[in-house]
Structure 1
Amino acid sequence: MTTTTALPKLLRLTDPGLREQLEALPASAALIGISTDGRAIAVDIDAAPHILVCSGAGGGSTTILRTLTAQFLHQGAHALVLDITRVAHLWARNLPTVTHRGNVAGIHDALVGLASELQRRIDLDGDLDDVPRLMVVIDRADATLRHLARYWETFRQKDDPQKSPATTALEDVLIEGRQARIHVIYDGPANASGLASGAREQFATVILARVSTGMWRRLAPIVDPAPKSSPLPGRVHVVQEGDAHPAQVLLMTDTEAADWLTTTAAGEN
């Protein structure tokens, strides 16, 4: 029988034993949070290569992106952080294994370049032991893709494809990225964003906070009835393999994430 316990009010990097718990995870995994049965809920991107995070106002999606990305960076991954606000992920700008892009032109070029990197990795035919994982982290992703569509229209020529090549590149990564060790963390419901349905279906882990019943039915239709969202900070439901797990997520501030990774790069504990 599963014992239900109260979720912790907060889960922070400074909690006793937390860093040791993170160090015990395989390089392909990151801790999402702690469930009501006291179990650690993690995502293993070898098995579930892409993650969708969707929250209502104040639900903390940007913080969740930061916390997950920091863990994968700590494990040796590299990251392409696409930050249309230009300020949501400043913590990552000076890290040596992070490429941060904020303006639309820079995001467009980064995604188009990602298509070449995807093909390069696929051509290695599985010989990727010396190739770092690449996390593609997209804050406010639906808005970003709308900006990219408008940007493409400003210089698209008659014979060019109608869809932005940046969006096409992201679709290709969602569909083929697993074999190339390229993984997407997507902030938003992937709704009216221009992504093809086949690409939208690639998110095997979905983290939801403060979303409407309608959004639940769209993003996690297998979970019925939709559970009630909590207004408390850091409270989410993690949908994996058809089950929804209420959890308190691990939260890292900008400073905590940057300092932790700087310490990691310096080879300190």
Structure 2
Amino acid sequence: MINQTSMPIQALRNSVRLSDSYTLTALNTVDTPLFGLADGDRPIALPDTAEHTLIATGAGGGTTTLLRTLTAQALALGASVDLIDPGGTGHRWARDLPGVRYLSRIADIHDHLLLTVAALQDGTQAWDGTWTGRRVMVIEHLGTVAYGLREYWSQTRPETQLDEAPGVEALGVLLATGPSFGVQVFAGNPSVRLPGLGTVPVAQVFPTRVIALGGAALWERIAPDIWCIPPYSVMPGRMHITAGQQVTAFQALYLSDTEARAVASGEIEPGGPQ
């Protein structure tokens, strides 16, 4: 981990794959999903808590790929996954996997968000702190989903005078309170606006933020607390992760669709023999 006053040039792997021995070594040392490897093959993994993670990249920066990698590992750990994939093209690999609720239609996403919030409010969504009791909500593009929810509500309930669409409000509730109930969001979104939360700082909702293939404008939107912005790389999988006031460059773990399915279903055990 490096601080903002000292950002040395770091030697990073050009790729991190399951077939690499250094990847398996890293997977054997972590208990949470692995983002990738920093300099010296240091594993960069998800925090132990259920805090949300935001992935913000320029076009082709690897948002879908990293969401796939994290989702497969979360499933392998026993989490249930709500995979919100507007358009239904980003995560076909997970459609029929056990433990996955796959949602691509806005109407279904709307209903599911409201039911999930209702479960939190009536106490039926209990969490014992384990991965097997955790619900991971993977949202391929937060902004697209929020826009779709607003359009859906305005078209199906044009007579209402609500300030915000109920689906967007529900999403805001999950972003604000979900971690306390074991509902964790992995979201892709290059925009600064957080659905249903007004002007709440991004870092307050997403303590862990991953940025790739983006210049000063993207950093200003997603991580305005970072004043020493690192240069981005066009190398596939090269990313930066920020938590608090620290920024770390890393090479993301790449899982193909086939590998992700195998990891998620236990056919390939992360860190185990291949």
TM-score, length of structure 1 as denominator length: 0.88
Structure 2 Cα separation of the partners of residues 102 and 130 of structure 1:
25
Number of aligned residues: 263
Give the match's secondary structure for 1:227.
coil
How far did residue 264 of structure 1 move?
4.8
> Are residue 25 (structure 1) and residue 27 (structure 2) matched?
no
Q: 1:199 to 1:116 in 2, by over 3 A?
A: farther
2:38–2:249 contact (8 Å) kept in structure 1: yes
> Are residue 7 (structure 1) and residue 21 (structure 2) matched?
no
Deviates more, 1:198-207 or 1:101-110: 198-207
Q: 1:160 to 1:51 in 2, by over 3 A?
A: same
Deviates more, 1:224-233 or 1:30-39: 30-39
> Are residue 204 (structure 1) and residue 212 (structure 2) matched?
no
2:78–2:132 contact (8 Å) kept in structure 1: no
Alignment correspondent of 1:189: 190
Deviates more, 1:170-179 or 1:13-22: 13-22
Alignment correspondent of 2:219: 216
How far did residue 128 of structure 1 move?
5.8
Q: Which amino acid aligns with 1:207?
A: V
1:254 to 250, 254, 257: 257
Give the match's secondary structure for 2:248.
strand
How far did residue 76 of structure 1 move?
0.7
How far did residue 132 of structure 1 move?
1.5
How far did residue 17 of structure 1 move?
5.0
Alignment correspondent of 2:108: 106
Structure 2 Cα separation of the partners of residues 212 and 199 of structure 1:
20
Where structure 2 has 5 or more consecutive residues not aligned to the other structure, the ranges are: 3-7
Aligned pairs (5 A) from 1:115-264: 115-121=117-123, 124=126, 132-156=133-157, 158-159=159-160, 161-192=162-193, 194-196=195-197, 197-198=199-200, 200=202, 201-264=204-267
2:65–2:255 contact (8 Å) kept in structure 1: yes
Q: 1:104 to 1:159 in 2, by over 3 A?
A: closer
Aligned pairs (5 A) from 1:74-89: 74-89=76-91
How far did residue 18 of structure 1 move?
2.8
Alignment correspondent of 2:44: 41
How far did residue 129 of structure 1 move?
5.8
Alignment correspondent of 1:50: 52
Q: Kindly report the root-mean-square deviation, in angstroms, between the aligned alpha carbons of the 2 structures.
A: 2.6
How far did residue 209 of structure 1 move?
0.4
Alignment correspondent of 2:5: none
Q: Which amino acid aligns with 1:63?
A: T
Q: 1:66 to 1:158 in 2, by over 3 A?
A: same
Structure 1 Cα separation of the partners of residues 181 and 38 of structure 2:
31
Q: Which amino acid aligns with 1:142?
A: G
Deviates more, 1:250-259 or 1:194-203: 194-203
Structure 1 Cα separation of the partners of residues 143 and 251 of structure 2:
25
Q: 1:79 to 1:23 in 2, by over 3 A?
A: farther
Q: 1:15 to 1:131 in 2, by over 3 A?
A: closer
Q: Which amino acid aligns with 1:185?
A: F
How far did residue 118 of structure 1 move?
2.4
